[in-house]
A and B are shown apart, each in its own frame.
Chain A
Amino acid sequence: MSASDEVFILGINMTKFGKHFDKDVVDLGAEAIMAALADGGVTMADMGIFAAGNLLGSGGIGQQLQKQVGQTGIPVFNVSNACATGATALRTAIMAIKAGECDMGLAVGVEKLAGAGLLAGGDRAADGDSWTPQGRYGAVGPIDGRVGTATMPGVFAQIGMEYGHRYGGVDFELFARISEKNHSHSTLNPLAAYTKAMSLEQIMGDMMIAYPNTRPMCSANCDGAAAAVVVSGAKLKTLSLEQQRRAVKVSASILTSDPYEEACQVLPNVNTLTRNAARQAYEASGVGPDDLDLVELHDCFATAELVHYDNLMLCEEGGAADFFNSGATWRTGSTPVNVSGGLQSKGHPISATGIANIWEVCHHLRGEAGPRQIEGAKVGLAHVIGLGSACGVHVLEKSAA
Chain B
Amino acid sequence: MTTATQIPFVHYLALDDGPPHLVAHECTSCGAHYFDRRNACAGCFGTEFRSADVATTGELRTFSIVAFAAPGVEVPFVAGVVDCDGTSVMANIINVDPTPEKIHTGMSVRLATYSMGVDSDGVEAIGFGFEPAP
Contacts and interface: CB of A to CB of B under 8 A. Distances in A.
A241 interface: no
A361 B133 CA distance: 50
B72 A142 contact: yes
A272 to B, nearest CB: 13
B34 interface: yes
A158 B81 contact: yes
Interface string B69-107: 111111101011100001111111000000010000110
Contacts of A119: 68-70
A138 B10 CA distance: 5
Interface residues of B, number: 50
A145 B9 contact: no
Contacts of B52: none
A131 B119 contact: yes
Contact of A266 (B9, B43, B89, B92): B89
Nearest to B64: A157
B69 A144 contact: yes
Nearest to A136: B36
A150 to B, nearest CB: 8
Given A130-B120, A161-B105, A211 B69 contact: no
Contacts of A145: 66, 69-70, 72-75, 77, 92
Contact of B67 (A129, A162, A208): A208
Interface residues of A, number: 52
B50 to A, nearest CB: 18
A126 interface: yes
Interface string A197-215: 0000000000111111100
B116 A141 contact: yes
A211 B65 contact: yes
Contacts of A153: 64, 66, 68
Interface of B: 7-12, 32, 34-37, 41-43, 61-75, 77, 79-81, 86-92, 100, 105-106, 116, 119-121, 123, 125, 127
Given A144-B69, A154-B64, 6 more contacts: A130-B119, A140-B125, A141-B125, A145-B75, A149-B79, A165-B62
A143 B42 CA distance: 23
B64 A161 contact: yes
Nearest to A171: B100
B26 to A, nearest CB: 12
Given A143-B10, A158-B64, A162-B61, A267 B73 contact: no
A152 B102 CA distance: 23
A242 interface: no
Contacts of B90: 147-148, 266-267
A162 B80 CA distance: 10
Nearest to B33: A262
